[in-house]
Amino acid sequence: MAAHGTAEAGRTRHSAVVRGTHWTTALCFLALIFTGANILMSHPRLYWGETGNTHMEPLLILPLPTSRGSMPTSYKFVLKDQNGWSRSLHFQTGWLLVGIGLLYAIHGIVTAHFRKTLLPGRGDAPGSAESYNPSQRIAYLGVVFVFFPLMIWTGLAMAPAFVARFPFAVEAFGGQQSARTVHFFVTVLILFFVFGHVVMVWRAGFIDRVAAMITGRVRGKEKS
């Protein structure tokens, strides 16, 4: 794998594992966002602590319609309940993403992809197709090593059987509802990242960068 090739056209930019995990993750993310939004809409309120229900003061009332008649909102309609399949798809996608994440992490360590390509300080070359700039590196590392583990952790912290075995997983957040709230806010942060990521790719040359993430190769002249 030669992520730091020479400046000729046709050189390798992304390894097959990075490309495969990138697009699978993108698909998983779409499925998780969509099903997560469906689940959230059955109770679009967030709380802090162990418990949360309509008798309690929420931390935040999200301005969303709901899929349950028992949930008071200012909207005059109730959406169809989509939680059954949404939950099943959400958890199955979660498993797939954990597998993808493990593959990516092992590959990143074994090939020194994290050290060479993502850790700031080594071969930073702003605007180059071979290298990422420091803020880009920090953003990628943050998503991979902070947001992604936090999503898995807060997700598991909402699972009653998991926290029966590992109570610390939920107590670290101060309760099941706190874990649910953190799960939501980390999702928002990831959405900001995805938005910024797409904007940056657009500015750097959308077709070339997307083609590079599909074929692994950089075409044509470098745009800086």
Partner 1 sequence: MTALSRRKLITGGVTAVSGIAGLAAASRLAARYGLVPPDATGIYAPGHTLTYAAQRLIGAGSLAREFRRDQISRPSYVNGKATRNPGFVRSQAGGFADWRLAVDGMVARPGSFSVAEIRTYPSRNQITHLACEEGWSFIAEWTGVPLSHILDRVGASPQARYVVYQSIEPNWWDSVDMEDALHPQTLVTYGMNGGDLPAGHGAPLRMRVPRHIGYKSVKYLTRIVVTDSLKGFGKGMGSGAAERGYSWYNGI
**Interface pick for partner 1 out of 71, 143, 189, 213 (rule CB under 8 A):** 71
DSSP H or E run through 27: helix 16-40
Quote the least distance from Cβ 38 to partner 1, whole Å: 11
Instruction: Tell the burial category of 203 from Cβ atoms under 10 Å away from its Cβ (0-12, 13-18, 19+).
Output: exposed
Give whole-number Cα distances, 92 to 1, 43, 78, 218, in Å.
31, 22, 27, 34
SS (H, E, C) 180-219: HHHHHHHHHHHHHHHHHHHHHHHHHHHHHHHHHHHHCECC
Task: Please tell me whether residue 135 binds partner 1 under the rule CB under 8 A.
Answer: no
Which of the ranges 52-60, 120-128, 129-137, 145-153 carries the binding residues for partner 1, by CB under 8 A?
Answer: 52-60
**Interface pick for partner 1 out of 33, 119, 158, 189 (rule CB under 8 A):** 158
Task: Please tell me whether residue 39 binds partner 1 under the rule CB under 8 A.
Answer: yes
Longest Cα–Cα distance of the chain, Å, equals: 65
Task: Please tell me whether residue 50 binds partner 1 under the rule CB under 8 A.
Answer: yes
Task: Please tell me whether residue 31 binds partner 1 under the rule CB under 8 A.
Answer: no
Tell me whether residue 98 or residue 201 sits nearer to partner 1 (CB atom).
98
Tell me whether residue 52 or residue 108 sits nearer to partner 1 (CB atom).
52
Task: Please tell me whether residue 45 binds partner 1 under the rule CB under 8 A.
Answer: yes
Estimate to the nearest angstrom the gap between the alpha carbon of 181 and the chain centroid. 16
Which of the ranges 105-113, 156-164, 185-193, 201-209 carries the binding residues for partner 1, by CB under 8 A?
Answer: 156-164
Quote the least distance from Cβ 140 to partner 1, whole Å: 25
DSSP E strand boundaries for 71-199: none
Dihedral sign computed on CA atoms, order 50, 166, 158, 188 = positive
Enumerate binding residues for partner 1 (CB under 8 A).
Answer: 16, 39-40, 42-43, 45, 50-56, 68, 70-71, 83-85, 87-89, 91-95, 158-165, 167, 170, 176-177, 180
